[in-house]
Each structure stands twice: as C-alpha cells, then as structure tokens.
C-alpha cells in the first residue's frame, strides 16, 4: 500500500530514533549511496553488527520490505553477530 504524503514526510524527518542520522565522512556517504547490506557494508568490520542491527531496526520501525538478496545478507550478518540485539520502536 502506498504511503500517504504525511507518512513519507514523517519518514524523511524522523527525529525520534537515535539511528536516524549518523555522522559519516563524505567518501563513506558516496560509497554507500542507496545500497543495502547485500551491496555495501562499512569498511570498519567491527561496526558490521551494529550497522546490521540499526538497518533491521529501521526496517522494522517503518514496516519496510526486504528483498531476497538483502534478506540473505542480513541473515549472514546475524549469524556473525549472535550477541547483537535489534532494538526499535514502531513509528507513529
């Protein structure tokens, strides 16, 4: 079901989640672009578990779809991150 204009605006301006804006270098931002975890992960491997948990939390918060390649990448990361917990609050 398509989102309403108000829902799109709420998503674009979500300031109620600590994971909404994370400061990164310009090079990292360009490198990531609009790629999901199947296509891109941070160069710092020690951050992969946190990145995956944040990604999944955002997907759950906004009830966003996941394609199969993204799902497989996230499952692989989950296997590598057995002590990582996904925390999220559903968006209003």
pLDDT above 90 (res 28): no
Report the pLDDT value the prediction gives residue 22, as an integer from 0 to 100. Answer: 75
- Distance CA(68)–CA(19), nearest Å, equals 24
pLDDT above 80 (res 21): no
Coil vs helix vs strand at 57: helix
In the chain, pLDDT over 90 holds for what percent of residues? 68
Nearest to 30 by CA among 43, 17, 48: 43
Tell me the average pLDDT across 55-75.
96
Q: How many CB atoms lie within 10 A of CB 31?
A: 13
Token couple for 33: 């672009």
Report the pLDDT value the prediction gives residue 46, as an integer from 0 to 100. Answer: 94
Instruction: Please list, in sequence order, all residues whose beta carbon lies within 8 angstroms of the beta carbon of residue 10, skipping any fewer than 6 positions away.
Output: 91, 92
pTM of the model: 0.86
Tell me the average pLDDT across 50-66.
95
Quick one: pLDDT band at residue 4, thresholds 50, 70, 90?
A: very high
- Distance CA(87)–CA(91), nearest Å, equals 13
């Amino acid at each position: 079901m398509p989102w309403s204009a108000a829902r799109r605006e709420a998503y674009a301006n979500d300031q109620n989640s600590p994971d909404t804006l994370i400061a990164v270098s310009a090079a990292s931002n360009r490198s990531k672009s609009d790629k999901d975890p199947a296509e891109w992960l941070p160069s710092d491997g020690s951050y992969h578990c946190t990145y995956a948990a944040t990604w999944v939390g955002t997907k759950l918060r906004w009830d966003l779809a996941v394609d199969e390649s993204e799902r497989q990448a996230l499952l692989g990361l989950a296997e590598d991150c057995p002590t990582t917990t996904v925390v999220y609050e559903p968006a209003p």
